[in-house]
Amino acid sequence: MKTRLPVFFLVFTLTLISALSAQTVRTYPAPEGEKATGAYTVTVNGQAVDVYSAKSQYWDGEYYFASFDFEGAISVEIQSGFPMAETVVLPAERFGLDVKTDAKSVKFTAEKPFRVSVEPNGRVKPLLLFGNALEKDAPKADDPNVIYFGPGVHQVGKLEVKDGQTVYIAGGAVVKGGIDATGKNITICGRGILCGADYPRFKGPNAYPINARDCEGLVIRDITIRAAWSWTCTTWNCRGVLIDGLKICCSNMINDDALDLVNTQDAVVRNCFFRTQDDSIAVKGCLADHRPCENIEIEDCQFWTDAANIYRIGYECTADVMRNIHSRRIDVLHYSKDFRPCEHYWANTIFWLQPNQDMTIENCTFEDFVVYSDGSNGLMLVAKPQRCTYGAVKDPNPGRLKNCSFKDLRVVGKKGFEGLIYLRGNAPQWDVDGIRMENVTYFGEPVTQNSPCVRVDGEFVKNFEIK
């Protein structure tokens, strides 16, 4: 006699098998000598994820990061010797993570890629955790146009990349050196690490860990950069740039700007996580031929500066114009530890728009930003044409700022971040014209033009409004 299984049992079993087959987790073992032990252990669906260490000059120095790929629903568990009951995961809200904590662990489930900072004690020894989409169509090691680095540690010094070449840093690879890229259709990608930890400040094998000059059709995707010796990732006179999924784990020194877009046009920056000591995003004009910085999209990113600005636009200004720079869905996980008043030459703020050298900054938008306050004070916006002296440039004319907007800005967390919004023109020809803000809230309270955190200084500010 044959026994027939109930229909509901068959359906349940098939559904379970289908669900399990749809879950894929891919991890990459760290090379010998690179795995950090003792601080955190990470498992995803029961699989171990190796953890790396990085350096900061602040908050007990060392912090940690880990990365893996997945598809489908996953369960993440993080254990630590640190007390975990009060752990904060930033920005859990952005990625829809339902975080559960107890004395020794943090747990959450995820169904889409995420980039978070796991913080048992604020900025002290956090874990940066990156859950990536599965890698598809990875370059092949035998492709003559691919410079391939497989798992392991590679000492390369300066690597020069030309037209049509791809640099591939596989998961589990640590490449020690810097990349000089010049030409068309260059790609730098992979799940591995580009590391500058062996080099003192300003003494790397080339100018910057990624030094892209005169590129067209440049793609930088998914790699992690650790420990820069100067600016971390730079594009000089590049057009048609895509930076997608780049992770930067720095803060080992000042001058480690995460991304410097220098005289660059038609760039998209998305799905990135930057921790540096210096500026997160710096838009600069440093070339003698004054090419513009324009048509730049920055979206779906997490930024963290330890001692500088989140956005600094216009400090170096040999460009004729900086325009059409748009940012949306950005999380500011941490802002500068150093509060300085808005009049200070080296003030630190979330947004610093400071046109210099008779240049105009215009038509820039910033939308859907969340600033996480740790209770310390900080500036929100400094919009101020000014004379910025740097290098061979001494006491130049200011520039002009016009038609920039800010919408849906929220400050959350511990009260203490006053978030001054400061506007000051310099002269009739170097004014601030057409700054608009809408739906700005600090700790749930709306900011208006009459709020104490809003200050308009002088007569050369026109058409400013907060709705």
Identify the CATH class of 24-133. mainly beta
Tell me how far apart the alpha carbons of residues 432 and 445 are, in angstroms, rounded to a whole number.
26
Mean pLDDT of 256-273: 98
Encode pLDDT of 187-240 as tens digits: 999 999 999 999 999 999 999 999 999 999 999 999 999 999 999 999 999 999
Mean pLDDT of 343-369: 96
One-letter identity of residue 378: G
pLDDT of residue 300: 98
Tell me how far apart the alpha carbons of residues 230 and 212 are, in angstroms, rounded to a whole number.
14
Give the residue from 356, 344, 423 showing the smallest Cα distance to 389: 356
pLDDT > 90 fraction of the chain, expressed in percent and rounded = 91
**Has residue 381 got a pLDDT over 50?**
yes
**Has residue 1 got a pLDDT over 60?**
no
What is the fold of 231-466? Pectate Lyase C-like (2.160.20)
**Has residue 9 got a pLDDT over 70?**
no
Answer for the pair 263, 291: CB distance below 8 angstroms, yes or no: yes
One-letter identity of residue 349: T
Tell me how far apart the alpha carbons of residues 385 and 314 are, in angstroms, rounded to a whole number.
9
**Has residue 21 got a pLDDT over 50?**
no
Tell me how far apart the alpha carbons of residues 184 and 43 are, in angstroms, rounded to a whole number.
40
Answer for the pair 80, 104: CB distance below 8 angstroms, yes or no: yes
Alpha helices in 291-380 (DSSP H): none
For residue 441 the two structure tokens come to 């809230």
Q: Where are the domains of the chain?
A: 24-133, 231-466
Confidence label for 6 from pLDDT (cuts 50, 70 and 90): low
